Chains A and B, each alone.
Chain A
Amino acid sequence: MTARGWVGAALIAALVFLALAGDRVAGHRFDAQDPARALESPSLAHWLGCDALGRDLLARLCEGGRVSLVVAVGATALALALGLAYGALAGWVGGRVDSFLMRAVDVIYALPDVLVTVLLIEVLSAALAGLPDLWRRLAALALALGFAGFVGIARLVRALVLQAREETWVEAARATGAHPARVLVRHVLPNIAAPVLVSGAFRIPAAILAESTLSFIGLGIQPPFSSWGTLASDGFEAMRSYPHLILFPCLAILCALLGFHLLGEVLRERLDPRSRT
């Protein structure tokens, strides 16, 4: 593995560790308020300082990391599952089914991602009204981002399946009398898995970016829970007087995204030799 790959692995390992052990590392709960320490700069008791309500920033960042990871992994899994099923169906069946499915995807493509996700988040939050608030937000974000991400993967899968259909080994599998569905699942899909997985790996940082962006404009996670986006948004309001409040959330997002991009590159080099340059 390259040095870049190791840096990425280290960043992600640190992120996962902090997300899992957050409160214990920080020594404070993410929602414990201490008004006397409001807006305090970093100190030994609070390594990264405190926010406007005197809550420990490190603990809140760890909580935000948990949110980001859950949303990103959920959204990516959904995008992969939906995209694989949709793209494989379109590419393998072909004909009218294909053109109908692809026109539908074109409609979604005709809208900016943010627009689709904002509308979906509102609709999903309403539809999931029965769940506790945090879970409702998490689920709405993951579902909406997964849906926004599936379009790209579906197009990729369809293109790869169309290509594979013409290969001689597919013809051979069919000639042995195997059921078309079996040929698809046992032969075609494993063969196109690598580029799809690589593309999926890059969905993770994309989802983290989207989640923090949505939370930044106030559509994601709501207080008392925190996400890097809401923390950055809070810090942004007061950045002239209390720069630590914007600095650390921004650094956290930057490190996480760098880490996932670097790991994605490693995966691409390993799995998809054709894309090597």
Chain B
Amino acid sequence: MIRYALGRLLAGVLVLWVVATLTFALLRFLPGGPFDKERTLPPEIMRNLERRYSLDGSLSEQYLDYLGGLARGDFGPSYKYVGRDVADILREALPVSLQLGALAFAIAAAGGIALGLAAGARRDSLLDRALALGSLVGVSAPSFVIGASGILLFGLALGWLPAGLWEGPLYAVLPACTLAALPLAYATQLTRAQVVAAMEQDWVRTARALGVPESRVRRRHVLRNALLAVMTYFGPLLATLLTGSFVVEKVFAVPGMGRFFVTAVGNRDYPLVLGVTLVYGALVVLANLVVDLLYAWLDPRIRVAGEEK
């Protein structure tokens, strides 16, 4: 198990290197540079600026320079936020995105499994139908639609919750629920489908015939099997949510990483774009690894197959 995890981590580092290289190349392909303004700067100032940020060497020199910095944990300076390192910015913005994402993930995962189990176990009941309709709306509504409705209803009309910013636990409620809405709806649909399929299996009938209480059948037999398929969705989901949402952060004026990325691309702030991209990539790699390990823990069949190799 440990060897497997280490191998995956190594592969992850490789993936990140490829991501860094591709992003580096893509960024340099974009027209315009970080210091292009409405008025063109005098050439000597331009030269000084380029020297200051080591943009005067050849592209391959800059690339090696950047990789060397990365190896030492240095993401380089931001061009736009003068005097701040990319690492500084990330250190401030990342925790916000992580908190928001983790909260949304908890809501989506716990809620999706609970609702999906409730709907699937009582197929075609009123609850099942109501949840089907609700989750259909949930997968159809863009987050800015849900966010705007939330602000209008709970922020402005009722005044129960703050409509924006990030200054305490209450401030997290609306953004986290908005971010969680789509995955919650999707996880509900997915869990329901798996539960319905599992309920029809022979081993459920066997368990019932043996007199196992219904609640235990559902928990130990149906849910555990249904979760396997749902877990594969949770890996990428955890990564997407942890990396925050550009839109939710914009709608609720949350100071996370998403908003930096969009403006940084426009500003040609190469180190900031690369830094955000790499942090995202690292989170995805880690999240997928965690889910695969959990998967092996949940499904003894995979564990055995893995050990035989």
**What is the interface of chain A, defined by CB distance below 8 A to chain B?**
106-107, 109-115, 118-120, 122-123, 126, 129, 205, 209, 212-213, 216-219, 229, 232-233, 236, 239-240, 243, 246, 250, 253-254, 257-258, 261-262, 277
B265 interface residue, CB < 8 Å from A?
yes
Contact check: which of A219, A250, A262 meets B145 at CB < 8 Å?
A250
Are B239 and A232 closer than 8 Å at their CB atoms?
Answer: no
Query: Which of B29, B240, B265 is the one whose CB lies under 8 Å from A118?
Result: B265
A-facing mask of B275-296, CB < 8 A → 1, else 0?
Answer: 0110011001100100000000
Contacts of B143 in A (CB 8 A): 213
B281/A217 in contact, CB under 8 A: no
Q: List 23 A-B contacts (CB under 8 A).
A: A107-B18, A109-B284, A110-B288, A111-B19, A112-B280, A114-B246, A115-B243, A118-B261, A118-B262, A118-B265, A119-B23, A119-B26, A120-B26, A217-B246, A218-B262, A236-B251, A243-B152, A246-B148, A250-B144, A253-B141, A257-B140, A261-B136, A277-B196
Q: Are A258 and B140 touching (Cβ within 8 A)?
A: yes
User: Are B22's CB and A107's CB within 8 A?
Assistant: yes
Chain B interface bracket (under 10, 10 to 19, 20 to 34, 35 or more): 35 or more
Neighbour of A232 across the interface among B19, B148, B243, B284, CB < 8 A: B148
> Chain B residues near A120 (CB, 8 Å)?
26
User: B235-256: which have CB < 8 Å to A?
Assistant: 236, 239-240, 243, 246-247, 250-251
Known: A114-B246, A115-B280, A119-B265. A236 touches B148 (CB 8 A): yes
Chain A residues whose C-beta falls within 8 Å of the C-beta of B250 in the assembled complex:
216-217
Q: Main SS of the interface on chain B?
A: helix
CB of B302 within 8 A of chain A?
A: no
User: Which A residues are CB-close (under 8 A) to B240?
Assistant: 112-113
> Does A217 contact B262, Cβ atoms closer than 8 Å?
yes
> In whole angstroms, how far apart are the Cα atoms of A123 and B250 in the complex?
23
Contacts of B261 in A (CB 8 A): 115, 118
User: Whose C-beta in chain B lies nearest to the C-beta of A121?
Assistant: B265
- A110–B142 contact, CB under 8 A? no
> Complex: how many Å from CA A233 to CA B144?
9
- Indicate which residue in A110, A123, A212, A217 contacts B30 across the interface (CB closer than 8 Å): A123
With both chains docked as a complex, state the minimum distance between the C-beta of A73 and any C-beta of chain B, in angstroms: 18
Task: List chain B residues, Cβ under 8 A from A119.
Answer: 23, 26-27, 265, 273
Residue of A nearest to B266 (CB): A122
Q: Which of A107, A129, A216, A219 contacts B19 (CB 8 A)?
A: A107
The 7 A-B residue pairs with the shortest CB-CB distance, nearest first, are A257-B140, A250-B145, A258-B140, A277-B193, A110-B284, A126-B31, A277-B196
Bound together, the chains give a CA A113 to CA B239 distance in angstroms of 11
Least distance between B279 CB and chain A CB atoms (Å): 11
Please determine whether A250 and B281 come into contact, CB atoms closer than 8 angstroms.
no
Taking the closest CB of chain A, its distance from the CB of B108, in whole angstroms, is 16
Nearest A residue to B200 via CB reads A277
Q: A107-B15, A107-B19 are contacts. A254–B145 as well, Cβ < 8 Å? A: yes
